[in-house]
Structure 1
Amino acid sequence: MPPRVTLLHVAQRAGVSRSTASFVLTGRHVDMRISEDARQRVLRAARELDYRPNLMARSLRTKVTRTVALLSDTLASDPYAGRAIHGGLAAAVAHGHLLFIGETEGDPDIEERLITDFLDRQVDAFVYASMFTRYVRVPKLLKGHPLVLLNCLTRSARPAHHAVVPDELAAGWTAAKTLVEAGYREGIHLVGNPAEQVFAGRERLAGLREGFAAAGVKLAGTIACDWWPEPAYDAVARALRRGTAPRALVCLNDRVAFGAYQALKEAGREIPADVAVLSFDDSDLAAWLRPQLTSISLPYYQLGWKAVELLLGDRGDGGNSGDGSGSGSGSGEPATHRMAMPVRLRASI
């Protein structure tokens, strides 16, 4: 391997002092009144020598590493939620940062070890993420550090950090509006178990009820089941055998819709001629089903982008904000940012 090109090599090639070369390459040439000729010689020398700054030395000097750590439970390994990682990566790159990713699988010991490792590497800021939208307690080790919550919230009346979550309440309203505008006003059943402790189910149902109420429509009933294909199939098949005659099914996610499709097909009910089906999440499954499934999309990519953007958008060199609040960027008081969930209209309505 050839020896690493140093700042001194660049200065010697350009015929300037080492400090002048440093001022030019770090953008401080204007303040130091360095001539345009000298600046051009330094830039040309850096290109010819293929000079790259020693980031480790710079981070030791400035206490800024230009890195962000995204810590999640199972977000990174999920095939759909992994798009949030892509969004976070894109935002980090746009701000000249690297994104480190750690996954805990919900184990507090692994979480503590990962946070300690990230702190030892002097990462500048953290994104604390969850696979499912839920309330969390921020780990004590992260207190005092710039932090944004991704797909999770705290129960504090005065949150200390920005949080980025999907707008599930508005998604429920959108689902109701979509069905009503398509002419469905009676025989609309919810499929799934909108348990109070499940954030997405609770918010989606509340939005549905508000949207239907605004149009003078009521849900005809609920076909309760877990959020997986097999229990959904069993529950819908049982309801059909008992004489339930739905005109539309609102499924709480695409896996539930998959089970409902099978039950409807076995009962000889055509989609959408006999029964319309609408769902949430817009996973790949929605486009694979036949007929293709209308679904309200979870904006994973936008969630990841927004979380990192809140950390880095106003931070300049990526260092700590210096106010000790640990709330992340200079983008105002900590708040909950709800990301829109667009409807993907397909052939099931």
Structure 2
Amino acid sequence: MTDGSASTPHRTGPATLAEVARAAGVSIATASRVLNNSSQVSAEAYQRVCDAASRLGYRRRRAAWGRTSAGARAVAAVVHAGHRLVFTEPFFARFLGAVETELARYDLPLLVTNVSGTLAETVGRYLRAGNVAGVIIVSDHGPLPLSGSLAALGLPITVVGRPLHPYQLPYVDADNRGGARAAVEHLLGRGYRSIGHIAAPPDTGPGADRLAGYREALHACGLTDQPVAYGDWSQASAAHAMQRLLDQRPQLDAVFAASDVMAAGAVRYLRKAGRRIPDDVAVVGFDDHALAAQVRPALTTVRQPVELMGTTAVQGLLATAAGDPPREHATILPTELVIRDSA
């Protein structure tokens, strides 16, 4: 067996972790474990990675994905939302669970912090101090999004959810626009014509895109004068929004809610108002959380691949940290309409 030096191409820069893994015939995760002195690899893989790293002249450019004298490095998930939303909206638990599981494959801990109001500056200082090796920004929104201030950290960053501001950061999202369009097209196909929308906050990517998909489907059928009321992702806000929709349009025969949680709030108010579902008013949600199957009648909804969004965000972050060429700026994952009893 040769040492491979004769076939090594001329390099214009340092080798990346991905190149070492490829040369050794192992995954990036295995190469990372070897180069960070983890014992969770076979002796054969260990030797192959060491040989490849020596042959390619690999040098770690960041002490990011292992241990330093300061202790274990970590990935931070910064959730741009208040405590109430983080602990009541099922999306966050599912997404962060998937991120934690994926990071565990690389022996990396996950630090989670939620940010609202003046805490953004405090969190920014902590991240700038070198305490983390990468950042996943979740649910960024508002006139002062975190992605703007954190983009200058010099750390690998991935945003989850389409940013409404044009910062050049990679992001992962579900096809919110297409999913909303499919939901409304389903209602139109069932013969509903007076279709209201309980919209999410319009300063969020999912809120803006789901509202846009709703309007696109209606405009394609020539239905332009349809009522919209806004909620804040909570059941209580959706119940109030449902009341406003019925006040505006007493003969409303269907409603598309921008989340399953808000759809559940709409169902609660419709029952209070004496409306039968779906006989009087059909209801469609978005997310396909466990809640969708628990509501009675069970919710027709749009399934978004929350767990896949988590693993995709981690993989993109690790690839950036390893020095790999950037992937697509935007990774949009498909959604799927799930038909149940409410519409």
**Relative to structure 1, is the Cα distance of residues 206 and 64 closer, same or farther in structure 2, using a 3 angstrom cutoff?**
same
What does residue 258 of structure 2 align with? 252
Tell me the SS of whatever aligns to 1:212: helix
* Counterpart residue type for residue 178 of structure 2: A
* Counterpart residue type for residue 92 of structure 1: L
CA contact (8 A) 1:133 1:165 kept: no
State which of 156, 167, 170 in structure 1 corresponds to 2:166: 156
Greater shift in the superposed pair: 274-283 or 194-203 = 194-203
**Relative to structure 1, is the Cα distance of residues 128 and 152 closer, same or farther in structure 2, using a 3 angstrom cutoff?**
farther
Shift of residue 308, structure 1, vs aligned partner: 0.7
What does residue 101 of structure 1 align with? 111
CA contact (8 A) 2:164 2:204 kept: no
Q: TM-score, normalised by structure 2?
A: 0.67
Whether 2:297 is the aligned partner of 1:285: answer no
State which of 289, 300, 311 in structure 1 corresponds to 2:317: 311
What does residue 86 of structure 1 align with? 97
Whether 2:44 is the aligned partner of 1:27: answer no
State which of 195, 217, 223 in structure 2 corresponds to 1:188: 195
CA contact (8 A) 2:227 2:245 kept: no
Q: TM-score, normalised by structure 1?
A: 0.66
The CA distance in 1 between the partners of 2:46 and 2:71, in whole Å, is 14
Poorly superposed stretches of 4+, deviation over 6 Å: 63-66
Whether 2:263 is the aligned partner of 1:263: answer no
Tell me the SS of whatever aligns to 2:325: coil
The CA distance in 2 between the partners of 1:87 and 1:195, in whole Å, is 25
Q: Deviations over 1:46-87 (max 9, x none)?
A: xxxxxxxxx99x8559x9978533333459953621221222
* Counterpart residue type for residue 158 of structure 2: V
Shift of residue 300, structure 1, vs aligned partner: 2.5
The CA distance in 1 between the partners of 2:192 and 2:211, in whole Å, is 17
Gapped regions of structure 2 (runs ≥ 5): 1-41, 53-62
What does residue 330 of structure 1 align with? 325
Superposition RMSD in Å: 3.8
Query: Superposed, which structure 2 residues align to 1:92-241 within 5 Å?
Result: 92-94=103-105, 96-106=106-116, 107-116=119-128, 119-120=130-131, 123=132, 125-131=133-139, 135-139=145-149, 143-151=153-161, 153=163, 155-156=165-166, 159=168, 161-181=169-189, 183-192=190-199, 196-214=202-220, 216-218=221-223, 221-227=226-232, 228-237=234-243, 240=246
**Relative to structure 1, is the Cα distance of residues 286 and 113 closer, same or farther in structure 2, using a 3 angstrom cutoff?**
same
Gapped regions of structure 1 (runs ≥ 5): 1-21, 33-54, 322-328
| Greater RCO, 1 or 2 (C-alpha within 8 Å, sep 6+) | 1
* Counterpart residue type for residue 289 of structure 2: S
CA contact (8 A) 2:302 2:336 kept: yes
What does residue 11 of structure 1 align with? none
The CA distance in 1 between the partners of 2:334 and 2:197, in whole Å, is 22
